[in-house]
Chain A
Amino acid sequence: MNTHGLLGRVVVYLSAAVVAVPVSAFLGLGSVIGYLAAGMAIGPHGLGLISSVEDVMHFAEFGVVLLLFLIGLELNPRKLWQLRGPILGTGGLQVALTTAILAVALRGTGLSWNMAWLASMGFSLSSTAIALQLLRERNLMPTPAGQTSFSVLLFQDLAVIPMLAVVPFLGSAEASAGGDAPWISALKSVGAILAVVVVGRFLVRPVFRVIARTRLREMFTAFSLFLVVAIAALMQAVGLSMALGAFLAGVLLADSEYRHELEVDIEPFKGLLLGLFFISVGMSVNFDVLLARPLEIAGAVGAAVLLKAAVLLGVGRWTGLKGRECVVFGLALSQVGEFAFVLFGLGGQLGVFDAGTQAFLVLTVALSMLTTPFLFMADQKWIAPRFNRKGPTGIVPGSAASEPVQTKDGAVIIAGYGRFGQVVGRILHSRGVPTVFLDHDPNQIDLLRKFGQPAYYGDVRRLDLLHSAGAERARLLVLSVDDMETVFETARLVREHFPKLPMVARARGRVDAYRLVNLGIPVVRETFHSGLRAAELVLKELGLGAYEARRLVARFGAHDESRMRAAAALADDEKALISLAHEGRMELEKLMKGDEEQGRAATDDGWG
């Protein structure tokens, strides 16, 4: 097979992933190990199906960019500001301590100071991709451990920028990296960030609005991707971290009505690219180096992970993480991150490291990434039980001291904000019940946003949109869209994926109502109740008192509802339906005799 053509390579990657990841997930190892294993298998040091690791890795780094964009989307500027303490304090302390201790230790093993500094800087960083993936898979993001991990990772992503800037000064070769004077590149950076802020704040939303109006889904996806890629390219052009730029763009869009749709669109790309990234890490594991110096490598990996974990535990304690939270935090960030590859690559180019040292360090980094999923497993088996009592993980998810990234617990999701959903929404709003609106009409969403309501653009039939609207934690879903097929499809979807989420549905007419009744969903026939009100007005015009008219109509309504329910059960049996209808008519006639004939007012007698 020609594995050098693009299609050939894609086939290799995808088949390796499709085989390895499910196996790994089945064995309880999580997806990351699966990707890594797939990479080792197909890489130049494994079966050799793929030879050029660097290219892929470069491309796959984009998965990290998309990941940070998505993380940004969940953090609006206000929340980010709230997290400034943990980010700067905890993150700064962790990076500084790890770098300093490691540098001294490495100097002790005989490396030059320059090598020691660069190596330890790289080692102080953890893998955003691995740590967040593992924490998310275990639903630990909303816990204090998850939040602290996130803050520290964010700081590390920022810290890479100055680190990359100092590499040239550590090199023996002349600093040949950039041609610009420092102040020019600083100016460029500030300009680029300003551009992102302006575009994100003021330009993107109008464009999305226009695109949403065309109702062409793929245009929306295309523009979402374009946005992230363009910002990443801009950041790279001025020498800033692509991931950081994407994160910034995400934060700026976190408040926008298109947040959910963006999440939904970008998520699959992120998933695949991040998978590719892990595969490329697996591919870079050089078994020759490993076989040549197995003990040294093992020692280096063990020492690096141990030292990182030790510093993290100390820092975690210092910020107030307790017991098990602290352990999770320490383990989650104990590996060395993907930015180390970048730093060491640059170090190699600029002559800080010789090729042998570089290969050794890169291998150490890759293997350290492999350890984390196993450490998490060991933790589940041996450490967690000591902290038990609080459920399987020893942590109550959502019991975060700091605010969880998203709080939509107990909200009512209103799918379809037309004339129908509006009424429901306004009443809930006036009661202070938190509501989340979903609609596929950008004009409606615009309107809602003007009134400061949380509202998101998207197709409610999409499982991922429901996920990101918080369907797992919502109190109720109101299906108020006017298209019945959408109502049915969404109802089925929700029953399957969120069996605990109660629903209230809108039905066009009687036959639609049957189907919903048979699904056990409380249903409101949209025109039925306005018909009742009209009948009441007519009765009043005909001379009935308001109270009597209301009671008559209410009685009719109740009768019809119960008939409808009875008919729903027989919806397929025509004969039974006909006799039921006949019975119903007679019952109704009796029922609808006015109060007079029912003998209520003929009670002048009997009191003496």
Chain B
Amino acid sequence: MQAALLRAARQVSGLSIQSIYEAYPDCVIDVKAEQAALAEAEVLVLQHPFYWYSCPSLLKEWIDSVFEFGWAYAGGTALKGKYWMQAISAGGPAEAYRREGYNHFTIEELLRPFEQTAYLCGMIPLKPFLIQGARAQTEGSLLERAGEYALLLERLKEGRFPERHSSL
């Protein structure tokens, strides 16, 4: 699913795309380069599979090292006013992510640490883009969702933002 999403994103011109598992296989992030790319951007989309109700470890490492003290927070305002969005693929289907379901919590609830990360940096969180139920996806449905994803990115580029996300 991630591959399909990435392919879709690549179709959209004028985006700055970084595949961190390709760029940093030894887990040492080039902090300055990443910060420079962020400074240029208006929207940050974190596209990742759902791993243990969170993001994969290298993406966590990316946040840990790029969102520097004094740059992103604690007096730093480099990310202030920018938009934050996550595009997530998950194994579990949508109905598993509710109180009575298999996973007890909604995805939004589980994403709260990310939401607060955005707040701390003065960023504006947007509603996440989700593909859920990996097993149930067919080639066709996947293509359809990927198309929606491309459209969403297209709109973001033009400044037409989807609704804000807040679980406050």
Binding site for B on A (CB under 8 A): 545-547, 549-551, 603-608
Contact = CB atoms under 8 A, between A and B. Distances in A.
Given A607-B96, A608-B97, A546 B25 contact: yes
B25 A608 contact: no
A550 B28 CA distance: 13
Contacts of B92: 607-608
Nearest to A549: B25
B22 A608 contact: no
A547 B22 CA distance: 6
B120 interface: no
B25 A547 contact: yes
24 contacts: A545-B21, A545-B22, A545-B25, A546-B21, A546-B22, A547-B21, A547-B25, A547-B58, A549-B25, A550-B25, A551-B25, A604-B91, A604-B134, A606-B91, A607-B50, A607-B90, A607-B91, A607-B92, A607-B102, A607-B103, A608-B91, A608-B93, A608-B97, A608-B101
Interface string B75-95: 000000000000000111101
Interface in B151-167: none
A551 B93 CA distance: 31
Interface in B16-75: 21-23, 25-26, 50, 58
Given A545-B21, A545-B22, 20 more contacts: A546-B21, A546-B22, A546-B25, A547-B22, A547-B25, A547-B58, A550-B25, A551-B25, A603-B91, A604-B91, A605-B91, A605-B135, A606-B91, A607-B50, A607-B102, A607-B103, A608-B91, A608-B93, A608-B95, A608-B96
Chain B: interface secondary structure?
loop
Chain A: interface secondary structure?
loop
Given A608-B97, A608-B101, A546 B23 contact: yes
A604 B21 CA distance: 20
A549 B25 CA distance: 8
A533 to B, nearest CB: 11
Contacts of B91: 603-608
Nearest to A553: B25
Contacts of A546: 21-23, 25
Count chain B CB atoms within 10 A of each CB in A547, A550, A551, A606 and give the residue with the most: A547
B26 A550 contact: yes
A607 B90 CA distance: 8
A252 B50 CA distance: 69
A605 B93 CA distance: 10
A503 B102 CA distance: 56
B22 A604 contact: no
Contacts of A551: 25
A558 to B, nearest CB: 14
Contacts of A550: 25-26
Closest 4 CB pairs of A and B: A608-B96, A608-B92, A607-B92, A608-B102
Count chain A CB atoms within 10 A of each CB in B92, B95, B103 and give the residue with the most: B92
A608 B21 contact: no
Contacts of B103: 607-608
A605 B135 CA distance: 7
Contacts of B134: 604
A608 B95 CA distance: 8
Contacts of A549: 25
Nearest to B90: A607
A148 B91 CA distance: 78
A179 B78 CA distance: 85
A604 to B, nearest CB: 4
A537 to B, nearest CB: 12
Nearest to B50: A607
B53 to A, nearest CB: 9
Contact of A604 (B23, B25, B26, B135): B135
B136 to A, nearest CB: 10
A235 B22 CA distance: 71
B118 to A, nearest CB: 25
Contacts of B135: 604-605
B97 to A, nearest CB: 7
B1 to A, nearest CB: 9
Contacts of A607: 50, 90-92, 96, 102-103
A606 B50 CA distance: 13
Nearest to A551: B25
A442 B30 CA distance: 38
A604 B103 CA distance: 14
Interface string B85-128: 00000111101110001110000000000000000000000000
Count chain B CB atoms within 10 A of each CB in A545, A546, A550, A606 and give the residue with the most: A546
A555 to B, nearest CB: 13
Contacts of A547: 21-22, 25, 58
Count chain A CB atoms within 10 A of each CB in B25, B26, B135 and give the residue with the most: B25
Nearest to A606: B91
A604 B2 CA distance: 12
A607 B25 CA distance: 27
A607 B102 CA distance: 7
Nearest to A603: B91
Contacts of B102: 607-608
Contacts of A605: 91, 135
Contacts of B95: 608
Contacts of A604: 91, 134-135
A551 B21 CA distance: 11
Contacts of A608: 91-93, 95-97, 101-103
Nearest to B101: A608
A224 B39 CA distance: 62
A483 B102 CA distance: 64
A441 to B, nearest CB: 33
A369 to B, nearest CB: 65
A603 B90 CA distance: 10
A199 to B, nearest CB: 51
Count chain B CB atoms within 10 A of each CB in A549, A604, A607 and give the residue with the most: A607
A608 B50 CA distance: 13
B91 to A, nearest CB: 4
Count chain B CB atoms within 10 A of each CB in A545, A551, A604 and give the residue with the most: A604
A590 B97 CA distance: 36
A603 B134 CA distance: 10
Nearest to A550: B25
B109 to A, nearest CB: 15
A529 to B, nearest CB: 13
A541 to B, nearest CB: 14
A608 B110 CA distance: 15
Nearest to B137: A604
A547 B56 CA distance: 13
B23 to A, nearest CB: 7
Contacts of B58: 547
A404 to B, nearest CB: 40
Contacts of B101: 608
